[in-house]
Amino acid sequence: MSVRVIDLNKTPERIAIIKPSALGDIAHSLPVLTALRGRFPDAHISWIVNHGYAAILEKHPHLDELVAFDRGAVRKSWLGAGFEFARFLNRLGKSRFDMAIDLQGLFRTGLMTMATRASVRIGLASAREGAGFCYTHRVDDRSDVTLAVDRYWRVIEALGNAPATKTFLVPVQPEARTWAQSLLCQYPRPWLAVGVGSRWLTKRWPPEHFAALVRRAQATFGGTALFVGAPEEAELAQVAASLLTGPMVQLTGKTTLPQLVALLSEGDVMIANDTGPLHLAVALGRPVVAPYTCTLVERTGPYGQTDRAVETSIWCRGSYLKTCPRMECMAELTPERLWAPLEMILRQWQQNPHAA
């Protein structure tokens, strides 16, 4: 479906991208940034982001400014959070943006979009919580597009002269790359990054399944398991790690965001649930394998690698429930079903390890 092109009265000089979170969503939005830089090479481009995710965008060659805010302030007090948010909105209003693009599409980001006072305020038609009323232009993204990357790309199409391809560019900080390379050189390849956690209980493929899959990979190809993830996932990772007999490194909850980026960029494959680190690995151009229990590959699958994501086939697949009393999908989606895509990736690595 073609997208109606927005008629710009003038070339924007100051552009704000509003995509505060989360890790996977920011990774999905990266092609928009690169395309905007190509479309408006002289514009000053800012990205409004939650402070906790700002590090992933630091020193991005297509970005002029990071505008970070503290989402965690709301946990301190409602009064204090309201005051801080009002002050942040006032700061946006003084930044003299003439184009604002809201890729989050929620009430909070809609307010940010309006607060910029930009004459052109763009959002997606699928925006919720009344955010659409804050836009001057709504881009249709609800008919024939399902993956987030393609939905966000509708904005670029609406601005005209969209590139033929989408480019993912994730900056890897030199210090973090040095750290990752120094660590990994001590362990045998292939390096298998493993993310066993998820905030949703229904996305958490059992750690025993991860262990069984990694054991088979190590028995066939050797290599080292690199457990990564948030601090609250450390216990799950420890369960999986305790079931391995081959080399492994327990890094869950122990890396900074730049270190995670660097580690994934050096890895040979990532095995993880449908979570931010999985999609970050995809943006870094790394091959991935993923179990999909309560989410659908056609909606949230790894971009360009949906054939390497394996869905459960039970009756309630794709329910998008965060909790479930049955969890039948966990038993049905066995490690055996993920072996084929993992084996293919590792066979390719085995044939040409220097290309990885």
If you write DSSP's letter for every residue of 209-224 in order, what string do you get? HHHHHHHHHHHHH--E
Q: What pLDDT, on a 0 to 100 scale, did the predictor assign at position 76?
A: 63
- Phi/psi region, residue 117 (left: phi>0; alpha: psi -120 to 50; beta: rest), is left
Q: What pLDDT, on a 0 to 100 scale, did the predictor assign at position 80?
A: 62
Which token pair is 348?
Answer: 């390719």
Whole-number Cα distances in Å, 220 to 7, 224, 290: 57, 12, 19
CA distance 313 to 78: 44
- Phi/psi region, residue 52 (left: phi>0; alpha: psi -120 to 50; beta: rest), is alpha
Q: What pLDDT, on a 0 to 100 scale, did the predictor assign at position 4?
A: 83
Is the distance from CB of 192 to CB of 223 less than 8 angstroms? yes
Closest CA to 121 of 28, 44, 15: 15
Closest CA to 299 of 309, 289, 313: 309
Is the distance from CB of 283 to CB of 30 less than 8 angstroms? yes
Q: What pLDDT, on a 0 to 100 scale, did the predictor assign at position 72?
A: 65
Secondary structure of residue 311 in the 3-state scheme: strand
Which token pair is 290?
Answer: 């993923």
Q: What pLDDT, on a 0 to 100 scale, did the predictor assign at position 3?
A: 73
What does the pLDDT profile of the chain (356 residues) look like in tens digits?
567 888 898 999 999 999 999 999 999 999 999 999 999 999 999 999 999 999 999 999 999 999 998 876 655 666 667 778 888 999 999 999 999 999 999 999 999 999 999 999 999 999 999 999 999 999 998 766 789 999 999 999 999 989 999 999 999 999 999 999 999 999 999 999 999 999 999 999 999 999 999 999 999 999 999 999 999 999 999 999 999 999 999 999 999 999 999 999 999 999 999 999 999 999 999 999 999 999 999 999 999 999 999 999 999 988 999 999 889 999 999 999 999 999 999 999 999 876 65
pLDDT digits (tens, 9 = 90+) for 141-176: 876 678 999 999 999 999 998 999 999 999 999 999
Closest CA to 140 of 120, 126, 121: 126
If you write DSSP's letter for every residue of 121-169 in order, what string do you get? EEEETT--TTGGGG-SEEE--SSS--SHHHHHHHHHHHTSS--SS----
Q: What pLDDT, on a 0 to 100 scale, did the predictor assign at position 73?
A: 60
Is the distance from CB of 295 to CB of 285 less than 8 angstroms? no
Q: What pLDDT, on a 0 to 100 scale, did the predictor assign at position 77?
A: 63
What is the number of residues in the chain?
356
Q: What pLDDT, on a 0 to 100 scale, did the predictor assign at position 190?
A: 97
Q: What pLDDT, on a 0 to 100 scale, did the predictor assign at position 355?
A: 63
Is the distance from CB of 67 to CB of 90 less than 8 angstroms? no
Which token pair is 244?
Answer: 């391995």
Half-sphere exposure of 228 (CA within 13 A, CB side): 30
Is the distance from CB of 310 to CB of 238 less than 8 angstroms? no
CA triple 262-293-308, angle to 5 deg: 50
Question: pTM to 2 decimals?
Answer: 0.94
CA distance 264 to 249: 14
For the chain, list the domains and their CATH numbers.
14-158 (3.40.50.2000), 174-355 (3.40.50.2000)
Q: What pLDDT, on a 0 to 100 scale, did the predictor assign at position 37?
A: 98
